[in-house]
Structure 1
Amino acid sequence: MEKAPESIISEEVAFQNFTNFQGFIEEIYNCIPDKEKKYWTSSWNWGDDELFNLEGSFHMTNQVDLGNFWAWQNNAATWFDDDNPSPTSTDKFRHGLYAHAWYAIRKANMGLANLDLLTSATQEEKNLIEGQLYFFRAWWHFEMMQYLGGLPYVEEVLPSHEKPTLPRLTYQECADKAGADFARAAELLPINWDNTSVGASTLGKNQLRINKIMALGYLGKNYLWAGSPLMVHGAQTGGTQTYNYDEAYCRKAADAFGELLDLVESGQTQYALVEFDYEDIYNHKKTSTAANKYSDIFYTTGQNWLMPGSTEAIFRGPSTDSNGSNWNTTKTFGPKVQGLVEHDNIIHHPTANYVNNYGMANGLPLNDPDSGFDPEYPFRDRDPRFYHDIVFDGFKYINSTMPANMEYLRYTGLHTGGTMRNAADGSRTGYFIQKLVPHTANKYDGAYNWSFNMHTYLPYMRLGDIYTMYAEACAAFGGASGKSSKFSKTAEEAINTLRDRVGAGHVHASYTSDRTKFIDEVRRERAVELSFEGFRFNDLQRWLLLTEYPYNVKTSHEFDRVESDDFYKENDPRDAKVANFREEVILTRQFGTKHYWFPLKIDDTSMYPEFGQNPGW
């Protein structure tokens, strides 16, 4: 298409003042994918945490189970790529991470190369522009690196008419460059844009703007990943290196996280852990004295489409189509039996092996001989997050009026042979998820209807995530008593902060006295706190556990009911007795060393010899 001469804006104009330059950066924000709403039915949990029912076989979750890691490419149904991307579109379906990454990195480099043209600006404005550009250059690289390994780290505007020659760097070489960019961003950016002269004009609407806390969070995450077993020892099977970190990287990670957490806990930021104080935990109803509630991190209802995140979400992209959640995301977590949850027949199922991570209320894991776990009462006295996140047998699923011939579905039948227990339109595993979408998102309660204003969104980083990463980084070099000089809490105290939030028991002394056992508890805490939020695959990958049992299986819990149906109408389902409680394998993932990294696109690896393919692909 021919452009009218008056539509072409010179670089001098585009970059001369804050308003124009910020407009240039806004497109980078627009490119950030929305993991949940990327497609009609989307897929973001690729570890051992969930599986789809049979009709969801085309989703990336199932393709990963099959070992078909090529499936990420040009895939409209996953947030990681797109077959029809558009950086300027506000359509949530048009934004995939890899599809936009190189474009966004080029924009960041163009901005950095033209900082000298920002002549009509205050020093504050210049710092804000520069800090955002450094952050985004690092962030897009880092998000790709997690799945693809070391890449060319592009720090200049590459000539469009010349063949590229930048070699692939090692993961740690890339991490060093990303770390320098994140650190520079942290130096330049404010904690809260609301407290700047620039931000005063958009007061109360600056939550998504890149700030110092985001930069510190990703600085720490970048270094923790660089110090993790996969990045230190290379892809391998056997799991023998899973506890062996690079301590130097982990110390740098701990310092970045420590600085962040010290700012938070001293009240210098807008961030705080969201309360976990429920009057009715099954219905996510907070007490009258609670200022906010845990579920607000993931979804909001009745708040005029308020974007989820509350005081805990640190880094999020835009979510311009708030009701877009209800075009399908909110209809993919519950039973489809008899149209109980409407629309198509796709369901996210939590695996039984992952549900096993939810230990006991006393803080001990289920398999600890002193935990008190009783297979005749498998749902009793569990970690409080179990009751918030997981729908289990006998749970009252429908609160509203139902037709008489549907009453048999009011309470979940998730025991073996139960009313909601089948691979086609019920549960394959004995459970459903309600952490991200409430169980009231069904035909009769109607939480996904317009009048409820339900909006879902998954943050890329939140404060609970930071506490677990801080604990892991400190444990890597100092065990349970490891700590950063920039923060007062030890690794053990950081984990117990999260457990205090939900009312679960502290890490037991038998685990704090042994570094290996403590790291296991940190990892289990991370599994529970961040369940179904899209982090598990990368965790198993970097811990060199992706190929290892029991992380390579997906299982169900099978059991028989002992109680009558009337029991569940009159009693708390957690108190139900069952018989023959057992775990059965649904599938085993046949992974080798090549599965520790996704394959690169053949079109990319064919561009020039230095851009080589990942091993085994």
Structure 2
Amino acid sequence: MKSYIILVLAFVILLTQNSCFREEPNNKLSQESIWKNELLLDEYVLPWYRNMDNGFSTYVTTIMKGIGREYEPWYGDQITVSRSDWYSADYGDILKSNMEGITRRARTRWSTYYTQIQSINLLLENEKEIANGEHKTRVLGEAHFFRAYYYYMLLRNYGGPLLIKNTYDPLRDNKKFPRASYEETVNYIVSEARIAAGLLQPAENSDVGRANKGVALMLIAKTYFWASGSKFQNQTKEYLGFPDDRSDAMMTEAAKAYDELMKLNYGLVQINATTKDEIVSQYRNIFLTKNTTESIWEIQHSDDGNFDTGFGHKLDRDAAAPSFGGTYAAYVPTQNHVNEYRTITGKTITEAGTDYDPANPYENRDYRFYANILYDGCSFKSHTMDIHYTKVDGTEIPGEDLVKYGSSTTATFTKTGYYLGKFVRESQKIDNDEVYASSQNCIIWRYAEVLLDYAEIDFKQGRVGDAKEKLNQIRRRVHMPEYNTVTWDDIVNERRVELAFEKSTYWDFLRWGNAEEKMTGTTNPLKGIKIVKEEGKPTTYTETIVNGKNTKMRLFRAIQYFQPIPWDEIRYHGIEQNPDWKEM
């Protein structure tokens, strides 16, 4: 088994040897030579993977880092950043609903997705030139999968896009394309993903990191699941959703795809430990282990963590507290999210009674809290996290993890009173080496999300018992008490706790249609905690507003449910722009 990244190295080595490739300049290889050579075909396919998602390599974007592709976890309400200078860059523009910044980012995404679709269309138009065999079958499967995937990304961001199924050069071809309806786009994505599922092998028979049958089935299910969202029903514009309510029909189709997917060799990674510390350690390790049986789709980061020449990343360094040499405090969980973790008996902190002690708020909580959050007094890297103030003679002295590290003027520390525990590796060295960093993969889809999606479908379609059983599979894994019955709040809470900081919680707000409330500071301000200890007195825990207390700092407008299509495309094709967007 090998990851697709290894193919790049093999290709480079081959080009340096005395081979037939020497007959043509490396940067001027003819199409014919690509279609007829397996190694060149694999090189041709690589950009489809690399452009689908940045993984952990760009989670908070700045002007220096450029505009990334999929880092929406940081625009929800579960996590924020502590670097004030980032609010003046791309991240801040999006957070503050800056129309120019959103338009610029939307234009980049549109171009990225259609560039890859053009590449895919070119290969599929030349499929007869590819020698028959297993390699051809796999490459064609990847092509159909990625054509479906990029149209799925376009659908989520823009609504109905332009369905361009063949190579297209506007400089030579004056053909114009209409916007597809939501229904047309959903059907096309599903049809392409279905072709891919028929061509690709199951994960256990595929190279690690490559698209496979399970990934294609997941895409079918996720497309229907997305289209079932309340935001996309009873729309007056056919490219923004359905003219009537298709939610139930879409959920039914999603359930069928999930049924098919669940027959494959996926399952939750089980935790066999019995003590709290062991349970927490094993749960956290799920997100540090590459390509487990729970994983359906991951971004494959380089094993050596090389950030310059490979595809490593700096998540551990960016998330590190000052006591470990961290200067970014880039990913700090909010008190909003901490409050979502229920007690060890399964009760919310407001209904827990004696099960929850406000004077000791971090005791007796869901085991996933201890795995996902670094809080005051917990142990990490053989260090007791010091995220409180000590009051001496009326002066509040900050703890070690509330004092910036080093002399950098931009160095900072957590503004919420927490640091990230999920995804970070306790053994990762944090130093000043700007080349070698972290290597853990970024999970896009995993089996727990299948269960959570299906539980939501079951609940909405009246199968409450089935929904309960799917949630309980997840809760049994983390040794939490099972539900006797479930409510909608239970469904939402379990989803947000289990999928914390992953690629789903932001998009949930959009498909549920409550993003304006959840991502606006006046209605849902981001909160932190200030802890003060004084000898002889009870410790105080005071919730604070860390940003978003006004619309200037954190705002989501109704206009943002559908991103603006580039204005050049609007004019050239003569199509309608998404509602209320003005040319900048």
TM bucket, shorter chain? 0.7 to 0.9
What residue number does 2:47 align with? 27
Of 269, 273, 277, the match for 2:268:
273
Question: Cα deviations across residues 98-143 of structure 1 (Å, max 9, x unaligned)?
Answer: 443111111221222222233x323x44432322111000101112
What residue number does 1:432 align with? 419
Q: How many positions carry a matched residue from both structures?
A: 519
1:182 maps to 2:193: yes
What residue number does 1:191 align with? 202
1:103 maps to 2:72: no
- Alpha-carbon distance between aligned partners in 2 of 1:474 and 1:371, rounded to the nearest angstrom: 33
What residue number does 2:345 align with? 362
- Label 1:74 to 1:329 Cα distance change in 2 as closer, same or farther (>3 A): farther
Once the two structures are overlaid, the 10-residue window that deviates more, 550-559 or 146-155, is 550-559
What residue number does 2:298 align with? 316
What residue number does 1:478 align with? 462
Of 471, 480, 493, the match for 1:524:
493
- Label 1:605 to 1:283 Cα distance change in 2 as closer, same or farther (>3 A): farther
What residue number does 1:91 align with? none
Tell me the CA shift for residue 451 of structure 1.
13
Instruction: Name the aligned partner's letter for residue 77 of structure 2.
Output: D
Corresponding residue SS for 1:331: helix
Residue correspondence of structure 1 range 601-616 to structure 2 within 5 A: 601-610=566-575, 612-616=577-581
- Alpha-carbon distance between aligned partners in 2 of 1:294 and 1:346, rounded to the nearest angstrom: 23
- Alpha-carbon distance between aligned partners in 2 of 1:506 and 1:562, rounded to the nearest angstrom: 36
What residue number does 2:315 align with? 329
Once the two structures are overlaid, the 10-residue window that deviates more, 252-261 or 226-235, is 226-235
- Label 1:327 to 1:592 Cα distance change in 2 as closer, same or farther (>3 A): closer
Tell me the CA shift for residue 615 of structure 1.
3.2
What residue number does 1:128 align with? 138
Corresponding residue SS for 1:131: helix
- Alpha-carbon distance between aligned partners in 2 of 1:428 and 1:371, rounded to the nearest angstrom: 30
Residues 471 and 495, structure 1, Cα contact 8 Å, conserved in 2: yes
Instruction: Name the aligned partner's letter for residue 471 of structure 1.
Output: A
- Label 1:36 to 1:130 Cα distance change in 2 as closer, same or farther (>3 A): same
What residue number does 2:129 align with? 117
What residue number does 2:359 align with? 376
Residues 600 and 614, structure 1, Cα contact 8 Å, conserved in 2: no
- Alpha-carbon distance between aligned partners in 1 of 2:153 and 2:354, rounded to the nearest angstrom: 38
Q: CA RMSD for the aligned pairs?
A: 3.7
- Alpha-carbon distance between aligned partners in 1 of 2:224 and 2:259, rounded to the nearest angstrom: 13
- Label 1:168 to 1:550 Cα distance change in 2 as closer, same or farther (>3 A): closer
Question: Cα deviations across residues 503-547 of structure 1 (Å, max 9, x unaligned)?
Answer: 1122342xx3xxxxx333222211111111232221111111111
Question: Cα deviations across residues 32-73 of structure 1 (Å, max 9, x unaligned)?
Answer: 332321378785421112221123214554333311254256
Residues 559 and 578, structure 1, Cα contact 8 Å, conserved in 2: no
Identity among equivalent pairs (%): 22
Residues 399 and 440, structure 1, Cα contact 8 Å, conserved in 2: no
What residue number does 2:81 align with? 52
5+ residue gaps in structure 2? 1-21, 238-244, 405-410
- Label 1:616 to 1:550 Cα distance change in 2 as closer, same or farther (>3 A): closer
Corresponding residue SS for 1:548: helix
1:465 maps to 2:449: yes
Residue correspondence of structure 1 range 7-46 to structure 2 within 5 A: 7=25, 11-16=31-36, 21-38=41-58, 44=72, 45-46=74-75
Corresponding residue SS for 2:80: strand
Residues 315 and 459, structure 1, Cα contact 8 Å, conserved in 2: yes
5+ residue gaps in structure 1? 83-96, 200-205, 237-243, 264-268, 287-292, 301-307, 401-408, 482-489, 513-517, 566-575
Residues 556 and 585, structure 1, Cα contact 8 Å, conserved in 2: yes
- Alpha-carbon distance between aligned partners in 1 of 2:540 and 2:342, rounded to the nearest angstrom: 20
- Alpha-carbon distance between aligned partners in 1 of 2:375 and 2:541, rounded to the nearest angstrom: 16
What residue number does 1:570 align with? none
- Label 1:74 to 1:610 Cα distance change in 2 as closer, same or farther (>3 A): closer
What residue number does 1:492 align with? 468
Instruction: Name the aligned partner's letter for residue 376 of structure 2.
Output: D
Residue correspondence of structure 1 range 42-81 to structure 2 within 5 A: 44=72, 45-53=74-82, 54-58=84-88, 60-68=90-98, 70-72=100-102
What residue number does 1:166 align with? 177
Tell me the CA shift for residue 479 of structure 1.
4.2
Corresponding residue SS for 1:456: coil
What residue number does 1:587 align with? 548
Tell me the CA shift for residue 246 of structure 1.
0.4
Residues 343 and 366, structure 2, Cα contact 8 Å, conserved in 1: yes
- Label 1:137 to 1:385 Cα distance change in 2 as closer, same or farther (>3 A): same
**TM-score of the two chains, using structure 1 as the length reference:** 0.74
1:596 maps to 2:561: yes
- Label 1:590 to 1:11 Cα distance change in 2 as closer, same or farther (>3 A): closer
- Alpha-carbon distance between aligned partners in 2 of 1:226 and 1:548, rounded to the nearest angstrom: 21
- Label 1:70 to 1:314 Cα distance change in 2 as closer, same or farther (>3 A): farther
Corresponding residue SS for 1:121: coil
- Label 1:27 to 1:587 Cα distance change in 2 as closer, same or farther (>3 A): closer
Corresponding residue SS for 1:209: coil
Instruction: Name the aligned partner's letter for residue 478 of structure 2.
Output: V
Corresponding residue SS for 1:142: helix
Instruction: Name the aligned partner's letter for residue 467 of structure 2.
Output: A
